[in-house]
Amino acid sequence: MKDIEIAQQAEMLNINEIAAKVDLEPADIEQYGDFKAKIKLPINKKIKLKRN
């Protein structure tokens, strides 16, 4: 099976659902449509605080 065939069969999830699964809040991401976003850089500090 080719990559394009695999991609076409995949069910896309809303980016907010994915962000919530990894404990990111809407303010932590810069959303570009329903299916992609950038994670804002200050999130690195938030992640480090959660680990400690």
Question: Which residue ranges make up each domain of the chain?
Answer: 14-51
Residue type, 42: P
pTM of this prediction exceeds 0.75:
no
pLDDT in tens, 2-43: 999 999 999 999 999 999 988 888 888 999 999 999 988 877
39 forms beta bridges with: 29
Q: Which stretches of 1-52 are DSSP H helices?
A: 3-9, 15-21, 43-51
Residue with more model confidence, 1 or 13: 13
- What is the pLDDT, as a whole number, of residue 22? 84
What is the sign of the dihedral through the CA atoms of 14, 17, 23 and 25? positive
- How do the residues of the chain divide into helix, strand and coil, expressed in percent and rounded to 5? 50, 10, 40
- What is the pLDDT, as a whole number, of residue 52? 56
